[in-house]
Chain A
Amino acid sequence: MCWHCQSEVTGEYLCGQCVKVQPLSKALDYFACFKLDRLLAIDEQQLERIYYELSRTFHPDFYCTKDDSEKTISLGNSAFLNSAYRVLKDPIQRVEYLIRLEAGAVKDIRSNPPADLFEEILELQEDMETFRGLSPEKDSTERAALREKLQRERERLEGRQEEMEKALGAKYQEWDELQVANADPSEARDQKNGVLRSMQEILSNRTYICNMANELLETTG
């Protein structure tokens, strides 16, 4: 129902009767906002097209002469639209959002990152600590050797990051295939949860490795 004239809203975003802008439904998710299926390979052209279309519909500039309620709605809708667009445009943020969205159905979607990764990170942290403690003048040989080691480590981590992104790409495809296949819902749910969980695992390890690579870069210059 239209918040203004109380008639049934027949238009999608504007009331068919009084043409007032309507607040977006609270239940609307980012994918639905752009009329996209919950797939990870999205139609980027459609994303752009609908983004521009809705931006024109909701932009606060078009409402500066309207009353306060309409201004507030246009502002709220635009803010939602902008974050939805930003998140869906970025492949990593897109999958993170999808996992959050689907996690309602999945308890305990978080899996434990492997302990050997922590050990590796801890060793690198210790080496960095040593490196920061070395004086460029007095311990120049040791420092140069350690720097080289840390730089090699960083390259190795960056290589791993690439591998992880490849693995993630394969999971994207797996997810999309499950979504399109339209199999028996309960059976598909288990499979989907499995895919979500492995995506989450790769993502958290990737975050760790990215942070570490950045820190190594900052430390060794």
Chain B
Amino acid sequence: MAYSEKVIDHYNNPRNVGSFKKEDDDVGTGIVGAPECGDVMKLQIKVENETIVDAKFKTFGCGSAIASSSLATEWLKGKSVAEAQKIKNTDIVEELNLPPVKIHCSVLAEDAIKAALGDYQKKADGKKPKVEEAAASS
């Protein structure tokens, strides 16, 4: 099976490899994996005013998994949190021309985006309980 040129490009020159501090309030982290193939993917977003200002990833896995997460970080940058929710694995499949046997790699990337957004949301919501408590007690 031959990889598409785009996959090879992302594999050879992965964008945004690295990590942010997981503990930071403006960082959302998603770590996902697929036991069947042993791939594991960490994707992080940095959010300012509901906009994703930076994204980083670290993936141990096959070329398609690396390319999928690399592409995901590229797409995430500059998007609002709400827009980011709309990224679908099928968009990744289309952009990278992934063959059917590699579709699960794009699913993994979508899962990682969702997990990172979820983690960020949890932190953001966690900062607000005082307001809710105040509302509840009034």
Contact = CB atoms under 8 A, between A and B. Distances in A.
B44 to A, nearest CB: 12
Q: Categorize the interface residue count of chain B.
A: 10 to 19
Interface stretch (A8-16, A76-84, A202-210): A202-210
Contacts of A181: none
B31 A118 contact: yes
B94 interface: no
Closest 4 A/B residue pairs (Cβ): A204-B35, A118-B33, A125-B60, A211-B38
A113 B33 contact: yes
A160 to B, nearest CB: 14
B42 A122 contact: yes
B40 A121 contact: yes
A91 to B, nearest CB: 18
Contact of B33 (A121, A126, A215): A121
Interface in B46-89: 58, 60
A61 interface: no
A119 B33 CA distance: 9
Interface of B: 31-33, 35-36, 38, 40, 42, 58, 60, 115
A207 B31 contact: no
Nearest to A129: B60
A115 interface: yes
Contact of A208 (B31, B35, B42, B58): B35
Interface of A: 113, 115, 117-119, 121-122, 125-126, 204-205, 207-208, 211-212, 215
A119 B19 CA distance: 13
Given A121-B40, A125-B40, A207-B36, A115 B60 contact: no
Contacts of A208: 33, 35, 38
A201 B28 CA distance: 26
A113 B38 CA distance: 12
A115 B31 contact: yes
A50 to B, nearest CB: 31
Given A118-B33, A125-B40, A207-B35, 19 more contacts: A113-B33, A115-B32, A115-B115, A118-B31, A118-B32, A118-B40, A119-B31, A122-B40, A122-B42, A125-B60, A204-B36, A207-B36, A207-B38, A208-B33, A208-B35, A208-B38, A211-B38, A212-B38, A215-B38
Contacts of B35: 113, 204-205, 207-208
A111 to B, nearest CB: 11
A125 B36 CA distance: 17
Nearest to B61: A125
Contacts of A211: 38
A98 B32 CA distance: 27
Contacts of A126: 58
A204 B40 CA distance: 13
